[in-house]
Chain A
């Protein structure tokens, strides 16, 4: 029996029902999904980069993903993340098949949780989650706010992401 497929099927059904109840607001409710794992990992770090890298390293070491690349841009508010080989991708594929855009990524939930828990970030928000099931890759754009004053610092994230891609300012961590 494929236990991963079994558990992803359970999650997909739950998220489908949850979306049916709350539509796009469902995404606002799921920020704790996944945090139990990361909170048990004793993540270390004094800076966002250190915390993010320790999170990705421990997530990859546990076999939840193959690797992840991240870059921080946009006035230090944009956390741009690419996750490869995630254990949960079949959950996302199943949701997409039922016409629902994936909205709950446990991996980004873990990282954002640790920015809040370990670095006392004021708040975070997952702005976009794109899943490419063929490539086995998820691309996530999140807003991370170290202090309340950071809210309202705006710029064009499509430009920011293009520059990150062009200049290859990615940092990749794998197991």
Chain B
């Protein structure tokens, strides 16, 4: 039998009014925790609801009910070194969860718990029971305003390196380089810059620990080699809201275009090499056998393409498409995210195996083997509380039969 355990650690942060606010509180009980984590949300969030009646044991033997009005001198049996409010916006919080289980020899095993959330308290709901809203390290990137900066031709690493300057965070692009062209930062927080990159350049960002992942990939080449988590329908998948979509149910095409600058062989009157801007355009679609094919639409050539036969044509601008090959890679990656034969939706499993977004999950169904398949994980919502410890996992694109090793090594 698995018995869920949790540990919530709140580290007070000093403020200008309360410079001695630096106590650490730990709780091993909670009414409910919900942690949402995804590469598409920029910020991982957590909601914690404490039990209605939490009593503090004071050193003198008295016991008092905890409320937000309290300025507890003593908590967990030890004296706090300040009389500051219990929790404030900006306090650090870490949530760990796991299961205690009995091994085959009858011995109780307490494994090293998984850190399911690490971040900051952003909102303290002023009601009973006490509720806390939390955000991950992205909270820090929402608190600082950047100095003005501009680049004539910026690469993604230039911009991310600049916005993280002065913080304790590092970053990775998964080896990707991406030209952002003319780029300017003005009256923005780093988080706003990341949101702008997401909207304009399809660059997704998220924190994993203290490392900011920011890349046109969402599934990084280094983690794509990790083995998938095995999940069995009749064993550790509790319930699911997944629907199987056949390839011919959804017919999607991706039209991607970019502006490319080409240097000509001729010179200007003042001896400079002449440039010319051209529009590159490709149409990516899947053939009946599932392979991705392209039609080069550069110059308006549309031979062999009947866009009307596609249920949905998504048109996308690619800022870094200086070559046709680069544009094709972009279109293929987008198409693979939109169009595959397999499951879409969410399933609920126990707290183990510990699944992160970006991981791979492999479904095994001994009753209906057609449901077998390997998928990427788009988001995970973890809940812990009276109902136990659960993970609600949203799956994304299918790997087996859709993507090959080369695709995975390049990053998706």
Chain B associates with chain A: no
- Chain B contacts to A: CB under 8 angstroms: none
